[in-house]
Amino acid sequence: MPPLREVLLVALGGGVGSVLRFVAASAMTRLYPGFPAGTLLVNVVGCFCMGMLAGWTSDRSLRAALGVGLLGGFTTFSAFGGDTLALAQGGALKLAALNVLANVGLGLLAVWAGRAIVVG
């Protein structure tokens, strides 16, 4: 179990990130009805911020609060981007590509399956 301080930082950051996602997605939906521009915006911004965080600090508490918490609440896509970048920078290009294909492919399959179970 991580230290209580880090758990609380993640919870606080996650709350803030979730509110920011809701506000951004709501604004984009009004501007671009019919296209998930809000999701695209938070995913791209979240990935950009995750990259900045990775280059800025290796402090565990800051990464917990800002990476897992704030950006995790804002978009889990940023974690996916950070993980993929870490694999690629570590020389595991095939694993990075597999991570992209698995996350996108299995994610779409899971959305389809979940909907199919509920809708029939």
What is the DSSP annotation of 41-95?
Answer: HHHHHHHHHHHHHHHH---HHHIIIIIIIIIHHH-THHHHHHHHHHHHHTT-HHH
Angstrom distances, CA of residue 24 to CA of 27, 36, 43? 5, 11, 11
Q: Per residue in 78-89, is it b (16+ CB within 10 Å) or e — as a string?
A: bbbbbebbebbe
The reported pTM is: 0.75
13-29: per-residue pLDDT in tens? 999 999 999 999 899 98
50-87: per-residue pLDDT in tens? 889 988 888 999 999 999 999 999 987 887 888 899 89
Asked if 63 contacts 5 with a C-beta cutoff of 8 angstroms, the reply is: no
32-45: per-residue pLDDT in tens? 988 888 888 898 89
